Each structure stands twice: as structure tokens, then as C-alpha cells.
């Protein structure tokens, strides 16, 4: 009797073990294959690092299917250099790289120096430009296809292209990307940067748009960033961050980057001489209703009564209004106004009664 009971218990245990094994097998079949341990830290992206020979500006623009790429990839210091460190981003290329360039090292020397101590070198992708216009790029052999880069040709127009496992050395810019649809993205970055006129920020953003036109990141779009540095060109001359814009998460991060750059120019760039016009009676007539009605919700308005002309009271009211609305760098007291500001004021209120 005891023996039959023991046999029955053994059979039950065997059946339970078989069912448990089957359950585990079915469960494991439903679970996704585990990604590499470092996969979630990879900043899959495309970027271009550039130098403006006329102004000395240095900058980076970047787009990725990765949130807040601006907090990972771009590094720059005025009069020193700019760096994009991506794929499995290594901040040493940014922090240590800028220190080395500040000490006189070229972009190539910086790249090779940091590479020597990088224990995960083949997972990296880096672009560097120094303040003398030297450029260098590297794409590790373990970065995901399509992966590679381009640097400006040492002798002038055109670029030098390369794929995984290569160090590229050139001038003016370094473009690179990984997990791309094809090499067309990096080719577009390089060609558009070279042929676009204007300031460095405009050239970088034009290149980024063209890169997306070439296919971009094969997984889609999510974030973007633009960093341009110039000595004492930050707010009130207190720092070198001439332009520092980050799109953390957006359906179309490049379009949002463009919108924010236009907003930044409006509020942080001084007036261009061609934009300044005299305040005519017609302009007074457009602005006085605003000055008589605002600030909204405040008992004291910018103007207490209609002036009908450009006098000291009108100019002081306009000045105070412009400071209130954050047009600080475009404020004037000479009877003139920035046409860009005027258009912005009127456009924002065009739908109001």
C-alpha cells in the first residue's frame, strides 16, 4: 500500500515537472529575444559637425530615433572645437576631447588619443572639428548598418567617404550616421552643408533636412538638437552658447528644430540693418491699439491715451511693451522699429478682436 502510494506520488511529481517544463518552453517562445545589454544606450543617429571659416563658429546638429539626443551627442566650446559622439556614446570624446583641443591638439590627434583608451571602441561613432577647421570621423566595426561617415576633402570642395572601421581625416566638417537606410543620408549631409549659404546654424539645419531626405534613421524620427558656439555670443554676452536648442521628443523633430531656431533668432539675435524701418504714422496706428489694451489683465496699460504720433511717451510705451514680450535685443529708442518684430507683434494679434 505504501509502495503504491509512493509510486503515485512519483508519477504526479514527474507529470508536474513535465507540465512546468512545457509551460516554460511556451512562455519563452512568446518572449522577445533579449537585446544586447548596451542596446538601450545606443544613440542611433545621424549628425554633422561643422566649422565656419568666416566667423569661427563651431557647431553640431543631430537627429535620432532616440529621446533627447541633444543631451547625449553634441559637445562644443568656442575657439576650441565641436564633437558628436554617438552610437554607444562615450562622453570622453566630448569632455576629454575638448580639453585636448584646448591644449592645441588637432581633431585627428584627439580622436586617436581617446580611441587608444576606449574599451568599447568598435561600438562608437564620432565626428570632430577643431577651431582651425581640421576634421576627423570614425565609425566602429560593430555599429549597425548602414554606418559610416564623410569629412570635407583636405584640398577644397567635395568630401572623403568611409565606412565601418575607418578613421577619416579632412577639413571643415564631419558627417556621420548609423542604422541608416543607406549612405545617401551622409552624402546629403555633406553636399548640402557645402553648397548652402548663410550662417553656420542655417547650413547645419539645411544639411540635417537633406539627410532626412536621403532616408535618415531607418527606425524613424524622434529628437533633434542644434548647438553652435561663439565667443561671448550667449545671452547678454555671459557665455559662448550662441544657439543651444533641443527637441526632446516630437513627431517631426527637424520641423520643430526649424521652428525653434526661428524663435531663437527673433528673441536672441540683434536686428539686421536691412530689417530696421522708421515708425510711420501708419505703423503708429497699428501699434497704438496694442499699447492701449495691454498688458492684458493689468490695470495699468502701456499707454493711457492715444498719441497719434511718435513722441517720447509712445517710444517709452513701446520700449516697455517690447521688454515685456521678450524682444530685449531689438529694443530701440530712435523712432525706428525692427520689421521682423513688428510683423511678429501683429501676426500674434491678428486673430484677436
pLDDT digits (tens, 9 = 90+) for 221-274: 899 999 999 999 988 788 999 999 999 999 999 999 999 999 999 999 999 999
> What whole-number distance in Å separates Cα of residue 169 and Cα of residue 42?
24
- Identify the burial level of 19 via C-beta atoms within 10 angstroms of its C-beta, where 0-12 means exposed, 13-18 middle and 19 or more buried: exposed
> What is the reported pLDDT for 265?
95
Which residues, given as ranges, of the chain have pLDDT below 50? 1-8, 10-36, 38-41, 353
Joined grid coordinates for residue 191: 553636399
> What whole-number distance in Å separates Cα of residue 196 and Cα of residue 306?
47
The closest alpha carbon to 211, from 176, 167, 173, 242, belongs to: 176
Find the angle CA(179)-CA(184)-CA(188) to the nearest 5 degrees: 115
Q: What is the CATH number of domain 41-268?
A: 3.60.20.10
> What is the reported pLDDT for 1?
45
The closest alpha carbon to 257, from 208, 327, 294, belongs to: 208
Judge if pTM exceeds 0.85.
no
The closest alpha carbon to 151, from 140, 162, 164, 141, belongs to: 162
Find all residues with CB under 8 Å of 20, minimum gap 6, and list them.
none
3-state secondary structure of 60: strand
Angle between the N-to-C axes of helices 253-268 and 200-213, in degrees from 0 to 180, rounded to the nearest 10:
170
The closest alpha carbon to 318, from 299, 348, 338, belongs to: 338
> What is the reported pLDDT for 16?
42
> What is the reported pLDDT for 44?
66
3-state helix, strand, coil in the chain (%, to 5): 40, 25, 35
Joined grid coordinates for residue 88: 554607444
Joined grid coordinates for residue 138: 570614425
3-state secondary structure of 223: strand
3-state secondary structure of 228: strand
DSSP string, 269-284: SPPPGGGEEE--HHHH
CB atoms within 10 A of CB 197: 7
> What whole-number distance in Å separates Cα of residue 52 and Cα of residue 204?
11
Amino acid at each position: 500500500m505504501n509502495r503504491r502510494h509512493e509510486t503515485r506520488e512519483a508519477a504526479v511529481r514527474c507529470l508536474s515537472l513535465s507540465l512546468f517544463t512545457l509551460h516554460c518552453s511556451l512562455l519563452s517562445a512568446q518572449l522577445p529575444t533579449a537585446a544586447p545589454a548596451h542596446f538601450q544606450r545606443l544613440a542611433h543617429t545621424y549628425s554633422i559637425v561643422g566649422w565656419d571659416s568666416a566667423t569661427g563658429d563651431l557647431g553640431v546638429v543631430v537627429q535620432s530615433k532616440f529621446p533627447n539626443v541633444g543631451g547625449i551627442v553634441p559637445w562644443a566650446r568656442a575657439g576650441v572645437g565641436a564633437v558628436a559622439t554617438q552610437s554607444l556614446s562615450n562622453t570622453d570624446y566630448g569632455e576629454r576631447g575638448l580639453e585636448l583641443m584646448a591644449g592645441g591638439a588637432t581633431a585627428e590627434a584627439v580622436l586617436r588619443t581617446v580611441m587608444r583608451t576606449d574599451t568599447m571602441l568598435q561600438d562608437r561613432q564620432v565626428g570632430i572639428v577643431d577651431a582651425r577647421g581640421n576634421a576627423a570621423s570614425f565609425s566602429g566595426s560593430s555599429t549597425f548598418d548602414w554606418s559610416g561617415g564623410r569629412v570635407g576633402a583636405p584640398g577644397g570642395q567635395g568630401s572623403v567617404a568611409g565606412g565601418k572601421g575607418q578613421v577619416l581625416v579632412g577639413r571643415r566638417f564631419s558627417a556621420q550616421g548609423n542604422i541608416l537606410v543607406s549612405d545617401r543620408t551622409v552624402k546629403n549631409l555633406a553636399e548640402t552643408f557645402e553648397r548652402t549659404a548663410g550662417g553656420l546654424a542655417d547650413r547645419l539645419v539645411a544639411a540635417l533636412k537633406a539627410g532626412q531626405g536621403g532616408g535618415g534613421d531607418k527606425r524613424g524620427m524622434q529628437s533633434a538638437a542644434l548647438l553652435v558656439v561663439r565667443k561671448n555670443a550667449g545671452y547678454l554676452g555671459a557665455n559662448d552658447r550662441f544657439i543651444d536648442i533641443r527637441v526632446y521628443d516630437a513627431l517631426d523633430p527637424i520641423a520643430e528644430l526649424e521652428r525653434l531656431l526661428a524663435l531663437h533668432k527673433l528673441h536672441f539675435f540683434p536686428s539686421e540693418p536691412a530689417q530696421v524701418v522708421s515708425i510711420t504714422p501708419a505703423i503708429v496706428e497699428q501699434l497704438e491699439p496694442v499699447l492701449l489694451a495691454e498688458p492684458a489683465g493689468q490695470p495699468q496699460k502701456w499707454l493711457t491715451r492715444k498719441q497719434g504720433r511718435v513722441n517720447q511717451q509712445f517710444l517709452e510705451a513701446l520700449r516697455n511693451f517690447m521688454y515685456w514680450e521678450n524682444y530685449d535685443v531689438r529694443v530701440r529708442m530712435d523712432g525706428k522699429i525692427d520689421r521682423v518684430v513688428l510683423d511678429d507683434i501683429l501676426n500674434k494679434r491678428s486673430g484677436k478682436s
